[in-house]
Structure formats: C-alpha cells, structure tokens
Structure 1
Amino acid sequence: MCTYATVTESVDGSAKGPGGQWFHVSDATVYYDHPVHAMAEHTLNIDLADPSRGPGQRVAVELTRESATRLRDAIDAALASAPEGV
C-alpha cells in the first residue's frame, strides 16, 4: 500500500555526496513508502537536496520504521542536551 504522504521542508545545512564532496542542502523531502534500495516493504525515505544545483546534488536515506524512530529519538536527545542559544 502506498501512502503518498510526503512532507517537504526548507533546511539549511550541508551533506556529503557522491565523490565525498560536501554541498549545501536547502530542501528536505520526507515520505513513508516503498524503498528503492533497502530490503524492507516500506521505509521512511529522506532526501536532502540543493535543487538549484541539479538532480545530482542530493543525499537519500531509506530507514525502517524502527530505525527511523530510534534516529528521531537520538536527534531529540542530542538537541535537548545542547544549551539554549548554542
């Protein structure tokens, strides 16, 4: 079953892409659907990209639901441990 539930968000950061080169990322697309590569029925798929530099400027991640939940919890914990304003 496809959910077609897609969330897009503007972001400001960097990612390491093909060839080990860093590039700016400005767009995040997150959706839960069939993966392209991961060996799972459905995954949380995250694309970080800079569309102004063409389709090759992106990093894609496919995570199982369990892995995505653990990653979300780890992000929350890391952000909570940082002092306000840092």
Structure 2
Amino acid sequence: MCTYATEQVDIQGSGKGRDGWFAVSSATVYYDHPVHHLAGHTLNIDFADRSAGPAARVAVELTAESAEALVAAITAALASVPPEIRAAG
C-alpha cells in the first residue's frame, strides 16, 4: 500500500553519480513502488542537489527490513564516534 508519506530533509554531504562526485543538499524519503528493485514496495531515498537538476541525484530502493538494518547501522556507527570528533564535523 502506498502511504504517500514523504519526508524531506536538508542535508550536507556528497554523492557519486554517473559524472562523478557532487554536493547533496536534500534527502527525500518515501515508501512506494520501486522503479528498479523487484519488490512490491520499497523505502526509497533520493539524495540530491535540487539546484543542479536531475543528474545530481543518487537514488536507493530498500526493502523495509534493509532500511531498518541501515538505520540501526547508522545509529551504531554514530554512537561509536567520540564526541570531540563529531563536534569537529
């Protein structure tokens, strides 16, 4: 079932696309039908630089289980970083 629930967040980072590295300034997260992955529905994340057009985009389609595992891995990785290193960002 499509929820049409879409979350957008401003971010700071980089992504690698067909033409190399580019800045990413936004992430869009939604649960919907995938374009490529062979599943009925996936959690889709688009990392993009909206000001640079559609070529400045990295997209992923994850099963719900994979998305939850990714959230846990990100949380664990960040929890293991000493505060002084995170503050230096």
TM-score by length of 2: 0.92
Gaps of at least 5 residues in structure 2 are none
The answer for the alignment partner of 1:24 in structure 2 is: 23
Distance 1:38 1:55 in 2: 20
What are the within-5 Å matches in structure 2 for residues 1-86 of structure 1? 1-19=1-19, 21-86=20-85
**Residue type of the alignment partner of 1:30:** V
Q: May I ask how many residue pairs the two structures share in their alignment?
A: 85
**Residue type of the alignment partner of 1:56:** A
Pairwise CA RMSD of aligned residues? 0.8
- The percentage of counterpart residues that share the same residue type is 65
Distance 1:71 1:42 in 2: 17
Runs (4+) of structure 1 exceeding 3 A deviation are none
Query: Deviation at 1:85?
Result: 3.4
